[in-house]
């Protein structure tokens, strides 16, 4: 079994922003497990533990989607939390432009994978970049208001590929290994 997910990779500029937020708001580390900057990505579909023999079908499904997509621009612009300020679980950087294209891409992937026997997502997809998770599931996160007020120059990026990643959980945090990259070729 391999723990898999499908994502849009992010640029070095985005990685630098994630690093800057973690340095500027180091108090977050008291309660939040922050994403390593080089691991930043936009998850489109988390597959979880997947049997090895299903991977070729998954690869074919992703290729089918990516070969019919044109590269598109999107923009990172704000910060936020899921589900809400009273029960903060996930800290994220938001996407202000290109949201609909990312949502459609996620839906296409979900539809194609469903044909291979992978269940569809139950929750509505919200395009975002996770930068941290509440370590202790506490209602209060040190520095949360500063995070929500954090401002940065919007970052434009081109989505031109998908990556199928394997995620290995280690005591030092997850290690993401690309299995295959899928260039948008339409």
Extents of the domains making up the chain? 2-183
Query: Along the chain (186 residues), what's the average pLDDT of each consecutive run of 10 residues?
Result: 97 97 94 94 96 96 96 97 91 96 97 94 92 84 94 97 96 92 93
Rounded distance, CA 101 to CA 74, Å?
Answer: 9
Of the candidates 21, 101, 128, 165, the residue annotated as catalytic is: 128
What is the pTM (predicted TM-score) of this model? 0.94
pLDDT at 140: 84
Query: Looking at the domain covering 2-183, what would its CATH class be?
Result: alpha beta
pLDDT for position 172: 84
Would you call 41 a catalytic residue per the annotation?
yes
DSSP state letter for 98:
S
Nearest Cα neighbor of 161 from 130, 125, 186 is 186
Q: What distance in Å separates the CA atoms of residue 186 and residue 184, rounded to the nearest whole number?
A: 6
Catalytic residue among 9, 28, 41, 79: 41
What percentage of the chain's residues is helix, strand, coil (to nearest 5)?
30, 40, 30
CB of 110 within 8 A of CB of 45? yes
The partner residues of 170 in beta bridges, in order of sequence, read none
pLDDT of residue 62: 98
Token pair belonging to 138: 């506490």
């Amino acid at each position: 079994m391999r723990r898999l997910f499908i994502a849009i990779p992010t640029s070095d500029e985005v990685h630098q922003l994630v690093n800057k937020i973690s340095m500027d708001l180091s108090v977050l580390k008291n309660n939040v497990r922050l994403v390593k900057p080089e691991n930043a990505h936009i998850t489109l579909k988390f597959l979880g533990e997947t049997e090895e023999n299903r991977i070729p079908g998954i690869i074919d499904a992703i290729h089918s989607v990516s070969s019919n997509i044109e590269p598109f621009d999107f923009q990172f612009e704000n910060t936020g939390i899921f589900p809400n300020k009273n029960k903060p679980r996930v800290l994220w950087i938001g996407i202000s432009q290109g949201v609909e294209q990312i949502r459609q891409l996620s839906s296409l992937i979900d539809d194609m994978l469903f044909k291979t026997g992978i269940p569809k997502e139950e929750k509505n997809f919200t395009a975002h970049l996770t930068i941290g998770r509440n370590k202790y599931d506490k209602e209060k996160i040190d520095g949360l208001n500063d995070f929500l007020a954090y401002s940065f120059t919007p970052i434009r990026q081109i989505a031109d590929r998908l990556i199928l990643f394997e995620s290995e959980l280690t005591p030092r945090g997850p290690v993401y290994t690309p299995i295959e990259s899928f260039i948008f070729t339409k």
